[in-house]
Amino acid sequence: MDHVEAARGVAEVLAADVVARDAKGGAPEAEVALLRESGLLGLLVARELGGAGGSWADALDVVRTLAAADASAAMLLGYHYLHLWRLGRYDNAELAERAARGTVREGWFWGGASNPREPGLTLTPDGDGYLVGGRKGFATGAQVADRIVVSGSVEGAGGKVMVVLDGRAPGVRHAGDWDAFGVRRSASGGVEFDRARVPGEWVVGEVPPGEEAARPDQSLVVPGFQVVFAHLYAGIARGALTAAAEYTRTKTRPWTGSGVETATRDPYILETYGELAAATAAAEALAERARAAFDRAARRGRSLTAGERGETAVAVSTAKVVAQRAVLDVTARVFDVIGARGTAAGAGFDRYWRDARTHTLHDPVAYKLREIGDHALTGALPTPGPYS
């Protein structure tokens, strides 16, 4: 499979009705069906297991391509890749292989429920498996997932265990309460578990008590989420800039007194586009550097050292800071160069800013800057944590 061609094809389909779907909101059933049909769900699955044998460099390329057309769909796919990939970081190769084969053969879409800022789930021993109880919010993708990755504390024993739940199993209830003004079709609402059973064959294994206690390759999952974010933001910025340029070329009128016949010759419009294009290019360049760094680290597997993991985290955080600032600037300022008519609901330019503003609140960029600054000043590497 040519992942570039497949991603472009999906992006083209998504772009055709993205404004209408965004306005409607709701569960992204159609988007997941499209991703399933495209074959992109199995991009990271090894060829010997029936997948495309792609790398994280390929996966992030796909995320950024889709983000330019539809941030919600790109977010869903990026999280899918992470949840499936993280299963291979534990001592359960058979389960990881079974999950990979199911993704390819059955078209499983993966979601997760692991918001670290909320109370954890409870796992009650039940035969060779567990009964899962509790609630998690911001469970991106879980509402439309075939399989959901969760972890919880084992009742009466202490310690945490990771398990995989059937997304439609009895006792799994989706709140459908995602009502943010951005990434409206990312299925990021809450999910409740009421004695939802996990059979022994889907028990992944024990979870380290904290990221700092995990092996470097296990704790690499956190920079994995962050590098997906950087590519999501760079893609949104590129999408907004490209759409705005087309609008300016075809619909924006020159300002009275500008002395030019077309908006494309207005010196102030040209200057603004120059600034936005430079910011977008900078975000893309650092996203590319972070993509290469994360791909190298992921390929290292269990050979990854703590130092290599730390350097990767710095590269990823740097990319995220620049991409976040760029996307918020670009998506707000494109209105300066498209004009008042571009605020019409049907034009859909507001969704770029709404998507960016909503997702960039995931975790404060100030804490990324503190880590980057500490590294620049003292050489210190970020301490692995739920967001670092």
pLDDT tens per residue, range 245-296 = 999 999 999 999 899 999 999 999 999 999 999 999 999 999 999 999 999 9
Say if residues 110 and 83 touch (Cβ distance below 8 Å): yes
- Running DSSP on this structure, what letter comes out for residue 119? P
Q: What DSSP element (H or E) covers 208?
A: none
Residues 6+ apart with CB under 8 A from 129: 163, 197, 198, 199, 200, 202, 203
Say if residues 102 and 113 touch (Cβ distance below 8 Å): no
pLDDT, tens digit (0-9, with 9 covering 90-100), for 312-334: 999 999 999 999 999 999 999 99
- Running DSSP on this structure, what letter comes out for residue 175? -
Q: Using CA atoms, how far apart are residues 64 and 84, in angstroms rounded to an integer?
A: 19
The distance from CA 52 to its chain's CA centroid, rounded to whole angstroms, is 20
Radius of gyration of the chain from its Cα atoms, rounded to whole angstroms: 21
Q: Is the pLDDT of residue 1 over 70?
A: no
Q: Is the pLDDT of residue 119 over 90?
A: no
* Phi, psi (deg, nearest 5) at residue 351: -65, -30
Say if residues 196 and 131 touch (Cβ distance below 8 Å): yes
pLDDT value, residue 157: 83
pLDDT, tens digit (0-9, with 9 covering 90-100), for 126-156: 999 999 999 999 999 999 999 999 999 999 8
pLDDT, tens digit (0-9, with 9 covering 90-100), for 331-374: 999 999 999 999 999 999 999 999 999 999 999 999 999 999 99
Q: How far is CA 6 from CA 26, 34, 181, in A?
A: 25, 11, 29
Average pLDDT of span 49-72 = 98
Residue 120 pLDDT grade (very low, low, confident, very high; cuts 50, 70, 90):
confident
Q: Is the pLDDT of residue 238 over 80?
A: yes
pLDDT, tens digit (0-9, with 9 covering 90-100), for 80-98: 999 999 999 999 999 999 9
pTM of the model: 0.97
Q: Using CA atoms, how far apart are residues 193 and 132, in angstroms rounded to an integer?
A: 6
Instruction: Give the end-to-end CA distance of the chain in Å, rounded to a whole number.
Output: 33
Residue 158 pLDDT grade (very low, low, confident, very high; cuts 50, 70, 90):
confident
Residue 117 pLDDT grade (very low, low, confident, very high; cuts 50, 70, 90):
confident
Q: How far is CA 251 from CA 12, 18, 48, 247, in A?
A: 22, 20, 51, 5
Say if residues 47 and 38 touch (Cβ distance below 8 Å): no
Q: Is the pLDDT of residue 7 over 90?
A: yes
Residue 170 pLDDT grade (very low, low, confident, very high; cuts 50, 70, 90):
very high
Which candidate, 191, 93, 117, places its Cα nearest to that of 149?
191
pLDDT, tens digit (0-9, with 9 covering 90-100), for 8-52: 999 999 999 999 999 999 999 999 999 999 999 999 999 999 999
Residue 306 pLDDT grade (very low, low, confident, very high; cuts 50, 70, 90):
very high
Residue 209 pLDDT grade (very low, low, confident, very high; cuts 50, 70, 90):
confident
Say if residues 167 and 147 touch (Cβ distance below 8 Å): yes
Size (the chain), residues: 388
pLDDT value, residue 252: 96
Amino acid at 196: A
Work out the burial of residue 270: count CB atoms within 10 Å of its CB; fewer than 13 is exposed, 13-18 middle, 19 or more buried: middle
Q: Is the pLDDT of residue 244 over 70?
A: yes
Q: Where are the beta strands (DSSP E) in the chain?
A: 110-113, 121-126, 129-136, 147-154, 160-166, 172-174, 191-198, 203-207
Q: Is the pLDDT of residue 118 over 90?
A: no
Q: Using CA atoms, how far apart are residues 80 and 97, in angstroms rounded to an integer?
A: 16
Domains and CATH numbers, the chain: 3-109 (1.10.540.10), 112-210 (2.40.110.10), 213-378 (1.20.140.10)
Helices 221-250 and 71-86, packing angle to 10 deg: 160
Q: Using CA atoms, how far apart are residues 206 and 196, in angstroms rounded to an integer?
A: 19
pLDDT value, residue 91: 94
